Amino acid sequence: MNNKESVETTIRMKEISVNEGEMRMIAEVEVRFGIGEQTKHLLNEMERVMEESGQQYKRKMYKYGVERADKELVERKKEKDEISRIGKKPYTIKAVFGKVKIDRTRIRYERGGTEIPSGKSWGTGQQVYTTKGLRNAVCDLLAKESITGTVSEIEKRCGEKGLLSGRSVLNILHKEGEALIKAQEKRAEAVFERIPEARILLVEEEKRSKRIEGENIIDGEWDKGIEEEMKGSRIVLGFNYNKQIEQSKLDARQVIAQFDEVKVRAQPRSGKKELLVYTSVVITENKSYYISAAKFREIFRQVGSLMAVLGVHEGKRELCVLGDGAHWIRNWYKQLKVDKKIMVLCWYHLTRTCIARLRKGFGKDNYKDVLTELLKNLWRGDVATGLEVLEAQRWRIMEKEELKELNKYLRNRRSYIVDTEARRRAGQWIANTQVEKFNNWSVAIRCKEKGMMWAQAGVMAIAALETARRNGELDVWRSSGNLPEWDVIGQELGEG
């Protein structure tokens, strides 16, 4: 061994056996490496050496163990069938500790036909198998890192260059995300098969042939000067409305459903400018549940399955829907055939939309007095007087289209603009802050950085994995391939 930086780990297998379902391995391990001068760098160098030696040890022991398991399968076959060995077939396995090349036994049946027993039994592909541990590591890294960063980090972990390509890690993410999304859909459908009467929680998707005015929800830049003008009033601004409410316990007879959507720039080849990820947070007295989907029909199916378990369709709980008032949310709420329900327009989205429209309409230096007067009325749920305020200031408007859009926006949502002051005094939710936070955790932080463009499979995989992680279900799904049913969680909550 000429290179002082190199590490050489040798394993001499003394015994490897399988007995009554237990594998036993006895081996002698030799590690050789250059120690060099004993300076201040020695401890760090020894750490590097042991890390590298450990990876070499894992790869070699893994090879011994897998090949012995392959031999065990052949021995079992021989007990039941007339077979003959016809050689070894090389195979590559990619694991968290690097690439391992093994030999698998190929057999011929006397009755005809050939087979690699381990390939069939283990369900591996023909050329290369990527282990679950490596796939999980890739997905966990891609939730935080770029593709290049993920490849680099995997190489550092396993101590081996070129284990995975950028295309490979992306394919892993897409496949894992697809499987998880199917598991989410399967769980929802299982609930409705078990509780068919809960299908009243599913509504028909409304078909729209033309654009509806006032549906273009926009967020204005926050101006701290507005808060100064609001001093002395009870109107709450900013994004910390629900801090005390979030920390308090919800009544067991209630359930809060918050809805939103996140826009992400689409890759050009998709033919779209942007992709939408629909999100929801369902809040009960003991727990918050996180849900994401690529279509609003699917988000409602998943939310509906959870509400079925919670007994919303039977009137066991009162449903409060909180959202930005988008048409897809309003349409679902209107068609929802449950008696105990209420929908509240998120105060945060309401104020931001008013700021954006009035600032564009009146100009950034001339809109604050109109905004202040408008919000004072909307805060009490008085939409009629708020519209009168806008009408009285029509003569000042520079961009009439902005005023027209704001009028339509308020009229379309007037049934859901409630007495916010009264709700706040009663300690009730007034904004969908939980789902906004979930948007950041699941999508925005990772997928909305400058210059990023996504395929739908990628962004939905990121969202699905974070959804399962937030629900405490990711480890269960990874170990079993299934998600725990909502009814298990419902029973833990003392549902019903």
Task: Express each pLDDT in 144-174 by its tens digit.
Answer: 999 999 999 999 999 889 999 999 999 999 9
Is the domain of 91 the same as that of 202?
Answer: no
SS3 letters for the chain? CCCCCCEEEEEEEEEEEEECCEEEEEEEEEEEECCCCCCCCHHHHHHHHHHHHHHHHHHHHHHHHHHHHHHHHHHHHHHHCCEEEEEEEEEEEEECCEEEEEEEEEEEECCCCEECHHHHHHCCCCCEEECHHHHHHHHHHHCCCCHHHHHHHHHHHHCCCCCCCHHHHHHHHHHHHHHHHHHHHHHHHHHHHHCHHHHHHCCCCCCCCCCCCCCCCCCCCCCHHHHHHCCCCCCCCCCCCCHHHHHCCCCCCEEEEEEEEEEEEECHHHCCCEEEEEEEEEECCCCEEEEEECCHHHHHHHHHHHHHHCCHHHCCCEEEEEECCCHHHHHHHHHCCCCCEEEEECHHHHHHHHHHHHHHHHCCCCCHHHHHHHHHHHHCCCHHHHHHHHHHCHHHCCCHHHHHHHHHHHHHCHHHCCCHHHHHHCCCCCCCHHHHHHHHHHHHHHHCCCCCCECHHHHHHHHHHHHHHHCCCHHHHHHHCCCCCHHHHHHHCCCC
If pLDDT is split at 50, 70 and 90, which confidence band does 239 have?
Answer: low
- Rounded CA-CA distance 266/271 in Å is 8
Residue pair 115/76 in contact (Cβ under 8 Å)? The answer is no
Please tell me whether residues 95 and 190 are part of one structural domain: no
Q: Read off the tokens for 402.
A: 């902005």
**Is position 158 within any domain?**
no
> Who's near 37: CB < 8 A, 6+ residues apart?
none
- Look at residue 417 and tell me if it is in a domain: yes
Q: Are residues 125 and 213 in the same domain?
A: no
CA dihedral of 298, 299, 304, 309, whole degrees rounded to 10: 110
Mean pLDDT of 284-311: 93
The pair of three-digit structure tokens given for residue 254, joined into one six-digit string: 């209630």
One domain, residues 220 and 367? yes
Cβ–Cβ < 8 Å for 465, 279: no
Q: Are residues 50 and 106 in the same domain?
A: yes
pLDDT at 46 over 80: yes
Say which residue the tokens 């950028």 belong to.
166
Name the residue type at position 290: Y
Q: Which residues contact 227 (CB under 8 A, 6 or more apart)?
A: 237, 238
Q: Is the pLDDT at 481 greater than 70, yes or no?
A: yes
In the sheet where 128-130 sits, what is the strand order?
114-115, 98-109, 83-95, 128-130
Residue 125 included in any domain = yes
Number of domains, the chain:
2
Same domain, 246 and 329: yes
Q: Is residue 223 part of a domain?
A: yes
Do residues 225 and 92 share a domain?
no
CA 85-87-88 angle, 5° bins:
120
Exposed, middle or buried, 262 (CB in 10 Å: 0-12/13-18/19+)? buried
Spatial contact of 174 and 181, defined as CB atoms under 8 Å apart: no
| Domain co-membership, 21 together with 115 | yes
At 167, the amino acid letter reads R
Residue 440 pLDDT exceeds 70: yes
| pLDDT at 237 (0 to 100) | 65
Highest mean pLDDT among 96-100, 224-228, 286-290: 96-100
CA torsion angle 185 187 189 193 (round to 10):
170
Give the confidence band of 418 by pLDDT, cuts at 50, 70, 90: very high
239's tokens: 């994004």
Structure tokens at 399: 């961009």
Assigned domain for 26 exists: yes
Instruction: Give the C-alpha separation, 89 to 45, whole Å.
Output: 39
Half-sphere exposure of 214 (CA within 13 A, CB side): 15
Residue 482 is predicted with a pLDDT of 92
Flag whether pLDDT at 232 surpasses 80: no
* Percent of the chain surpassing pLDDT 90: 65
| pLDDT exceeds 50 at position 214 | no
**Cβ atoms within 10 A of the Cβ of 96, count?**
18
Residue 17 belongs to domain spanning: 7-129
Whole-number mean pLDDT of the chain? 88
**Separation in Å, CA 374 to CA 37, 386, 406, 412, 424:** 77, 5, 11, 17, 19
Report if residue 354 sits inside a domain. yes
Residue 247 has pLDDT above 70, yes or no: no
Which one has a higher pLDDT value, 55 or 449? 55
**92/103 Cα distance (integer angstroms):** 9
Has residue 152 been placed in a domain?
no
Q: Are 359 and 372 in contact (CB under 8 A)?
A: no
Residue 239: CB atoms within 10 Å: 14
C-alpha–C-alpha distance, residues 279 and 299, integer Å: 7
pLDDT tens per residue, range 324-377: 999 999 999 999 999 899 999 999 899 989 999 999 999 988 888 899 899 999
- Tell me whether residue 136 is in a domain: no
Do 102 and 197 have their domain in common?
no
Tell me, yes or no, whether 101 and 189 share the same domain. Answer: no
Q: Domain check: are 186 and 110 in the same one?
A: no
Whether the pTM exceeds 0.95: the reply is: no
Q: Which residue has the tokens 């603009």?
A: 417
d(CA 432, CA 239): 10
Residue ending a domain, among 72, 106, 129, is 129
Looking at the fold, whether 91 and 15 belong to one and the same domain comes out as yes
- Asked whether the predicted pLDDT for residue 475 surpasses 70, the reply is yes
Q: What is the largest CA-CA distance in the chain?
A: 96
